[in-house]
Chains A and B, each alone.
Chain A
């Protein structure tokens, strides 16, 4: 395979510290050598390459910012962002797997869990010996999670959960689910281990997007959990939303990875493909497309990097993350669509990466807050007037 050459139009590489660049290079070479040779096959088969989980764990990408005492790598947020970028250069499904494990499972356990929950689960999750999923979305409640119908009722021995969750990444392959439910009038988080009677996670099939990622329904029918299954620090919708802020931050970087992959592929294709006796890249229309895409990707890189530095200074707000997620995913989706077009008929073949990224990004633009919901979040921040309902 031709080596990937990342667009770096304004020498942003100089803005990264030595260890950040080492993290980037390490994950980049892993994705190129270990993941990409399998990407097409798993996308077609609709499977996640589970055999790579021990390698991902050894690499240290699960919960990269989790402190070392709980098994994490203790990286800063820019290095974590670069990890997500490189993973999604491979496939949005790969990045989703890792984002969920870190941002949506390890993060809530670390932030809202008891010391016992942290000691039990975080090392297992960091080492890939346990896989986790995050159950917030329901069949009828996506953009409005506050309306959720899943309940947790107190009984003499602990809690009884009932409800259904949908579009849950990794559900079927998870050892533990972080399930959000209405408990005594407030949304709380619960740790539901695989195999608990009444709990099942059937896979959702027939997707044309994120095919190399397991998506599941979570079914909870009179699931009895002990008292200590609740995440004691969780309380209200702000708890799951704090998790989503983590994951969305990762997506703002990850989407750039998909955009880079498409851009690199279209640029090299257009330089090699001869039409009317000269390379496609020598015509004005392709050049305009390339110039527009390179500019958008570069602006997206600047935003992601700045958000990362702010996050490391503890100055990042959810409204800023909304802008990053919204902008960078849309630029990636538009890049993928334009690159798909530039590849001509080859663009519809899975032998090229672009079509796969384009299909995946239809999920990424929808999940973790749709593009429109983030538009309203930015509008809310600017005007002080919520316009969601």
Chain B
């Protein structure tokens, strides 16, 4: 079975992000980058699926040349191949353009199963996975926390706000991965050495213009200063009043 896991390079979680001068995106100077957390789950599940059911895993990313480090990391963990659709503006692409570009490459790979994170931790859209499934006309199961495959059939548990939903589906399918699905493995040093010289091709693609235009990016409003209602036991009533009548939380 051909499996594709899609990853996105995003600013590290501890990065202090700044809005760019044109207010249309982020100032990327000096940012450090990592693979989006949920995409790590996606690659891990792809590798586990391969280990259980056979096949091979290709890690696919739309991103800059520097993404080769992220892709190589997954080769060291057990993925078989990596492809970079070279794009220095990957972070400014809308979900539709990203999905269309990835979709073309997934079709070319002849994949039957595609894994992505439930969202990328930079823009939090959560749209690319379902869009790819729609474009391909495949089953789409989002927010997956458990997955079983059996031949051309699969069943998955989805985490929703109301509870856990168990669904059955037929391959080909797109799966988006939620925290709890697995614990990603760590590469070891021998694994890193084994893939040190492995070629990670950079490919070009047919450009897809953004449909959605970002008008303005603003940092969240600064939090209002707190208020000390009093000290010690005497302040309890005032605190309860404030929580009940001002904040409305109790």
Contact = CB atoms under 8 A, between A and B. Distances in A.
Nearest to B196: A19
Contacts of B188: 26, 58-60, 73
B186 A29 contact: yes
Contact of B189 (A3, A5, A21, A61): A61
What does DSSP make chain B's interface, helix, strand, loop or mixed?
A: helix
A22 B76 contact: yes
Contact of B192 (A5, A23, A30, A58): A23
A124 interface: no
Contacts, number: 49
Given A5-B14, A19-B196, A22-B76, A60 B190 contact: yes
Interface centre among A5, A59, A68, A83 (most CB of B within 10 A): A59
A235 interface: no
A3 B13 contact: yes
A61 B192 CA distance: 12
Contacts of B190: 60, 68, 73-74
Nearest to B14: A3
B84 to A, nearest CB: 13
Interface in A175-229: none
Contacts of A29: 186
A75 interface: yes
Interface string B95-121: 000000000000000000000000000
Contacts of B45: none
B86 to A, nearest CB: 16
B73 interface: yes
A18 interface: yes
Interface string A31-72: 000000000000000000000000000111100100010000
B193 interface: yes
A3 B32 CA distance: 14
A21 B196 CA distance: 11
B70 to A, nearest CB: 10
Contacts of A26: 186-189, 192
Contact of A22 (B13, B14, B69): B69
Nearest to A13: B32
B191 to A, nearest CB: 8
A316 B70 CA distance: 32
Contacts of B73: 22, 25
A79 B13 CA distance: 25
A23 B189 contact: yes
B186 A22 contact: no
A281 to B, nearest CB: 15
A59 B186 contact: yes
Interface residues on B, range: 10 to 19
A18 B189 contact: no
A77 to B, nearest CB: 13
Nearest to B12: A3
Contacts of B182: none
A173 B193 CA distance: 30
Nearest to A126: B190
B116 to A, nearest CB: 22
Contacts of B14: 3, 5
Interface in B57-82: 68-69, 72-73, 76
A45 B46 CA distance: 42
B201 to A, nearest CB: 15
A21 B69 contact: yes
Nearest to A71: B190
Given A26-B189, A59-B186, A73-B190, A19 B13 contact: no
Interface in B133-190: 186-190
Interface string B42-58: 00000000000000000
A19 to B, nearest CB: 5
Contacts of A64: 189
A74 to B, nearest CB: 6
Contacts of A83: 189
Contacts of B193: 19, 68, 73-75
Nearest to A33: B186
A6 B93 CA distance: 31
A19 B187 contact: no
Nearest to B195: A19
B95 to A, nearest CB: 28
Interface string B6-37: 00000001100000000000000000000000
B64 to A, nearest CB: 13
A323 to B, nearest CB: 28
Contacts of B69: 18, 21-22
Nearest to A74: B193
Contact of B72 (A5, A19, A74): A19
Contacts of B186: 26, 29-30, 59
B72 A18 contact: yes
Which of A22, A59, A61, A83: most chain B Cβ within 10 A? A22
A58 B191 CA distance: 10
A19 B200 CA distance: 13
Nearest to B32: A13
B189 A75 contact: yes
11 contacts: A18-B68, A19-B192, A19-B196, A21-B69, A25-B73, A26-B188, A26-B192, A30-B186, A58-B188, A59-B186, A73-B193
Return the 4 tightest CB-CB contacts between A and B, nearest first: A60-B189, A73-B189, A19-B196, A60-B188
Given A18-B68, A73-B190, 6 more contacts: A18-B72, A19-B192, A21-B69, A26-B186, A26-B189, A30-B186
